Chain A
Amino acid sequence: MSNTQMDDTLFKRTGKKTGTMLQYGDPDFVKRVEINEKDKFAHKAISNAQDAQWVKRETARAELGNWEGWRDLGEQIRQQCVRYLPDYLEEFSDNVEKRGGHVFFAQTDVEARDFITDLVKKKQAHKIVKPKSMVTSEIGLDKALLKIPDVKVTETDLAEFILELDHWDEPSHLVFPALHKNRDEVQKLFQKIGYTGDNDPQHEARFSRKVLRERFLEADMSITGCNFAVADQGMVNIVTNEGNADLSMSIAPTQVVVMGMERIVPTLREAETMDNMLVRSAVGSKLTSYCSFVSPKLPDEADGPEDFYVVIVDNGRSNALGTEFEPILQCIRCASCLNVCPIYRNIGGKGYGSIYPGPIGVVLSPLLQGDYDEFHDLPYACSLCSACTATCPVKIPLHELILKHREVEMNDKHMGDLIADTVMKVVGMGTGHSSLFRTALTFDHVAMNTIAKKGVKDSSGKRVPDTAKNLDENGKHEEWMPFVFGGWTKVRDLPEPPAHSKNFRTWFNDRKTKQYKAAGNDVEFNKEQAKILAQNPNTPDFGSYDNSVSARKAAKNGTTEPAPLSDATVPVALGSIEEAGTGNYGKKD
């Protein structure tokens, strides 16, 4: 991978830790999982949301047609942005300034917070409105703002507003931050600010609307996130369903946009493509109710911010640049990987202890933090089912990057504990040396038979025959295993290995001996087999088939350079919104 990005002075790696990630909740992963398991409501809410989103998302994507073509295009656009990040950032920053805005590059979360809090003081802002933004949570902005005397901060996204009232609770999902809160909790939280109604979500929403309207009208500063920064326009693209970002931006005279440094697209054309993919992936609709492109107010415009600041945040993102983790910067924060993740389904956002949960959080959190200290468990919170990789609209190989983290932890940083390390090395030897494995096959039954149990306990504690049939040959299984293997028997029974005389290899050898003897010899037996095969009407033109990800990867011959954007790469379905055949896709004037 190219290292050219690193030469840019803007994000030159200093060798020092540049990022900090907010770690919250119990520091112990297993304790967090336990706590979450007890929250039956959140558990159910997440499962329901995942199931409902599955249908909505797939329907919205199917409407586009040729979804795979869109994914290829999305991947190429985002790869292009990341590869030429310094150039696009420079272009974007120049264009913001041309429009009368200001740009600040923050290498760390501290720099970003300090710049914004200084600005608040300088502008003597007292009433700040904030639409939903993950990056401001990431850099811990809310807490820093609240320390300034006489400053009132209002989260204007309904879900974030609810969290704010709950002592600034952290979001548990990138798109549905208050997924873990139910209507009764919301009712109680709203009572803090004068709500007297029932737990009907419609009544609650109406109440919040009234409160928030007042906050918008009195706001003197808005701090927003950014879905995409359009480089050649110097404009910021923000999508919401509640219109709260638009109200914040058009009323408050000062706007501060906080953006992760990778959140960039070259032109409006790519912004359109990415918005289409983002919204369909995130909430399963064609487009959000509001999709705005903002820049400082022009003399002939009726509203918009008079003062416009963009804070571009690195905070550890450059740790990924030029490494095998670089594809993670392609992410557009649609959170569809959370919505398909079976681990997220069961441990919830809070289980991860990072404000970026789910597969994206597993990969991103240690990278932003710059070490594995607080997040070393996260790469193991994954069954490698690869649903995330399959759903990602910009084709980030999420499960492969999770595996890569495991490799770094075990092979490079030697973070495995001594016992686990030894066990895995023994397994590595046993599965790498055929003589050792054959010895194991000879003795496994004898060794494990001593602790095997026959049958399962019924409700009275009496052992009855196994209820799962065909699980093992002789109705015996293990209920306890040593070392890491105990994790298996903690949850389910382990079938007892068959006796050596009954295992597959013994059977196979016996079968071959008998077959060859019956036919005369192996050549004769094979002739008989050939006769059977001849009855197959497909002989000799048998089919071949390979639809595997590996085959496609191999066909690409391992090239890492993204194909240049061209009209040829635009999917068919995009023809309706693209001017076909102009031959200038991705080119700048």
Chain B
Amino acid sequence: MKVVIFSTCLVDLIFPNVGKAMVEVLERFGCETYMPMQQICCGQITFNSGYVKESKKVMHNEIDALMSVDADYIVGPAGSCVNMLKELQFHLPKGDDAYKAKAHEMANKTYEFSQFLYRVLGVLDAGAELDAVATYHRSCHMTRLLGERESPYILMDHVKDLKVQELPHIENCCGFGGMFSMKMPEVSREMVNEKVADVESTGAQILISCDPGCLMNIGGRFNRLGKKITIMHLAEVLNSNVDMSRVKYVDAAQRKAIDQQTLQHSNAHEEALV
């Protein structure tokens, strides 16, 4: 199974450990990984700032890079960026049909890391062990636009000794929002302050997320305030103290039952997912 690693600019620039953990986990379960060095960024930085024309070249480059290997899947460690890859087919300018078609094809085989592990490979227990109290920050784009809410919870449920506390106000944005955090620092600060307070209220030592951007924002604020926290991407959690004898797989039918159960549980607490 050939998997192209969609590294994202944040992993390339700031968080090498997230990329390493993701590759190690994927290879542990039998994937062949490829990392096209031409890739850079999904285009959100410029596109979401209103510089749409300037983003065309960025989108073309990313599509060409990720499609340069004839792989079965493209997997990335960031819910927001993965969703952007899926959206590219609609963001390309009118008349750019060849790239639109290629972007559509790309969208169909692109997955976020936790989603790929659970829903494609069928991994229920990745064999990890982490003796800690943690809480999980759900990123907005991954939940609402990529439509993936359950996979991270199901995978965390099976990490030995990990206790995951519910995070209050989980539905609220952490204040990252890409360039928003820089263009509106005063508003962003209020948002991340509330998130920091909510994380603290759970008593968690570790803050887990599937989006490095949110982790950089919340973690960076914790550090600025001199407050203690350990930030971890889910891939790093699933790569902790792995014992392969613990690994469990589930098939499609079993996943359906688990999904139903998890969905009912979380729908009882927050807005129903589409």
Residues of A within 8 A of B (CB): 30, 33-34, 37, 47, 51, 54, 58, 61-62, 67-68, 340, 342-343, 345-347, 379-387, 389-391, 403, 405-411, 416, 424-425, 427-434, 437-438, 440-441, 444, 456-459, 464, 466-473, 477, 484-488, 490-495, 497-498, 502-505, 507-509, 511, 525-526, 529-538, 541-551, 553-554, 558
Q: Is the CB of B230 within 8 A of A469?
A: yes
In the assembly, what is the distance between CA of A387 and CA of B170, in Å?
A: 12
A467 contact from B9, B108, B229, Cβ within 8 A: B229
Nearest residue (CB) in A for B215 is A471
Pairs across A and B, CB under 8 Å, 7 listed:
A403-B50, A434-B37, A467-B222, A469-B231, A487-B188, A532-B30, A537-B249
In the assembly, what is the distance between CA of A511 and CA of B33, in Å?
A: 11
| A470-B122 contact in complex given A406-B48, A477-B223, C-beta closer than 8 Å | no
A384 contact from B48, B60, B191, B221, Cβ within 8 A: B48
In the assembly, what is the distance between CA of A34 and CA of B29, in Å?
A: 52
Interface size bucket, B side?
A: 35 or more
| A458-B226 contact in complex given A507-B20, A548-B146, A550-B86, C-beta closer than 8 Å | yes
A33 contact from B5, B186, B273, Cβ within 8 A: B186
Additional A-B contact list (13), CB under 8 Å, known A428-B55, A485-B182, A548-B145: A340-B171, A342-B172, A382-B180, A427-B45, A432-B60, A434-B61, A467-B222, A468-B228, A469-B231, A470-B230, A530-B1, A532-B28, A549-B146
In the assembly, what is the distance between CA of A391 and CA of B31, in Å?
A: 38
Q: Is the CB of B140 within 8 A of A545?
A: no
Q: Is the CB of B16 within 8 A of A492?
A: no
Q: Is the CB of B19 within 8 A of A410?
A: no
B residues 23-77 touching A (CB-CB < 8 Å): 23, 27-32, 35, 37-41, 43, 45-55, 57-58, 60-61, 65
Q: Is the CB of A473 within 8 A of B40?
A: no
Q: Is the CB of B181 within 8 A of A491?
A: yes
Q: Is the CB of A386 within 8 A of B145?
A: yes
In the assembly, what is the distance between CA of A477 and CA of B224, in Å?
A: 10
Q: Is the CB of B115 within 8 A of A492?
A: no
Residues from chain A with a CB closer than 8 A to the CB of B12 are 437, 441, 503-505
What distance in Å separates the Cβ of B4 from its nearest Cβ neighbour in chain A? 12
The answer, yes or no, to whether B257 is at the interface (CB within 8 Å) is no
The 8 A-B pairs of least Cβ separation, nearest first, read A383-B177, A533-B30, A406-B50, A547-B147, A492-B220, A487-B182, A428-B54, A410-B50
Q: Is the CB of B251 within 8 A of A549?
A: no
Q: Is the CB of B29 within 8 A of A68?
A: no
Q: Is the CB of B52 within 8 A of A407?
A: yes
The answer, yes or no, to whether B271 is at the interface (CB within 8 Å) is yes
B residues 146-196 touching A (CB-CB < 8 Å): 146-148, 169, 171-173, 175-192, 194
The answer, yes or no, to whether B104 is at the interface (CB within 8 Å) is yes
What distance in Å separates the Cβ of B11 from its nearest Cβ neighbour in chain A? 5
Q: Is the CB of B13 within 8 A of A471?
A: no
Nearest residue (CB) in A for B108 is A546
Nearest residue (CB) in A for B19 is A504
What distance in Å separates the Cβ of A356 from its nearest Cβ neighbour in chain B? 18
Q: Is the CB of B1 within 8 A of A554?
A: no
Q: Is the CB of A492 within 8 A of B217?
A: yes
Nearest residue (CB) in B for A485 is B182
Q: Is the CB of B58 within 8 A of A431?
A: yes
Residues from chain B with a CB closer than 8 A to the CB of A537 are 122, 249, 251
In the assembly, what is the distance between CA of A533 and CA of B73, in Å?
A: 15
Q: Is the CB of A391 within 8 A of B271?
A: yes
Q: Is the CB of A433 within 8 A of B30?
A: no
Q: Is the CB of A498 within 8 A of B16?
A: yes
In the assembly, what is the distance between CA of A58 and CA of B267, in Å?
A: 9
In the assembly, what is the distance between CA of A440 and CA of B121, in Å?
A: 35
Nearest residue (CB) in A for B57 is A432
The answer, yes or no, to whether B98 is at the interface (CB within 8 Å) is no
What distance in Å separates the Cβ of A56 from its nearest Cβ neighbour in chain B? 12
Q: Is the CB of B107 within 8 A of A554?
A: yes
What distance in Å separates the Cβ of B30 from its nearest Cβ neighbour in chain A? 3
Nearest residue (CB) in B for A448 is B13
The answer, yes or no, to whether B242 is at the interface (CB within 8 Å) is no
Q: Is the CB of B181 within 8 A of A424?
A: no
In the assembly, what is the distance between CA of A470 and CA of B38, in Å?
A: 28
A488 contact from B28, B121, B185, Cβ within 8 A: B185
Residues from chain B with a CB closer than 8 A to the CB of A410 are 49-52
The answer, yes or no, to whether B135 is at the interface (CB within 8 Å) is no
Residues from chain A with a CB closer than 8 A to the CB of B7 are 504-505
What distance in Å separates the Cβ of B181 from its nearest Cβ neighbour in chain A? 6
In the assembly, what is the distance between CA of A427 and CA of B57, in Å?
A: 11
Q: Is the CB of A432 within 8 A of B40?
A: yes
Nearest residue (CB) in B for A425 is B54
Q: Is the CB of B224 within 8 A of A386?
A: no
A550 contact from B58, B90, B187, B192, Cβ within 8 A: B90
Q: Is the CB of A468 within 8 A of B189?
A: no
Q: Is the CB of A538 within 8 A of B236?
A: no
Nearest residue (CB) in B for A534 is B30
Residues from chain A with a CB closer than 8 A to the CB of B37 are 434, 438, 505
In the assembly, what is the distance between CA of A419 and CA of B167, in Å?
A: 39
| A532-B29 contact in complex given A433-B61, A493-B223, C-beta closer than 8 Å | yes
Q: Is the CB of B270 within 8 A of A58?
A: yes
In the assembly, what is the distance between CA of A509 and CA of B185, in Å?
A: 37
The answer, yes or no, to whether B119 is at the interface (CB within 8 Å) is yes
Q: Is the CB of A553 within 8 A of B90?
A: yes
Q: Is the CB of A431 within 8 A of B122?
A: no
B residues 120-153 touching A (CB-CB < 8 Å): 120-122, 140-141, 144-148
Interface string of B188-216 (1 = CB under 8 A from A): 11111010000000000000000000001
Q: Is the CB of B187 within 8 A of A444?
A: no
The answer, yes or no, to whether B255 is at the interface (CB within 8 Å) is yes
Q: Is the CB of B169 within 8 A of A51?
A: yes
Residues from chain B with a CB closer than 8 A to the CB of A407 are 50, 52
Q: Is the CB of B232 within 8 A of A457?
A: no
What distance in Å separates the Cβ of B51 from its nearest Cβ neighbour in chain A? 5
In the assembly, what is the distance between CA of A471 and CA of B215, in Å?
A: 8
In the assembly, what is the distance between CA of A546 and CA of B270, in Å?
A: 21
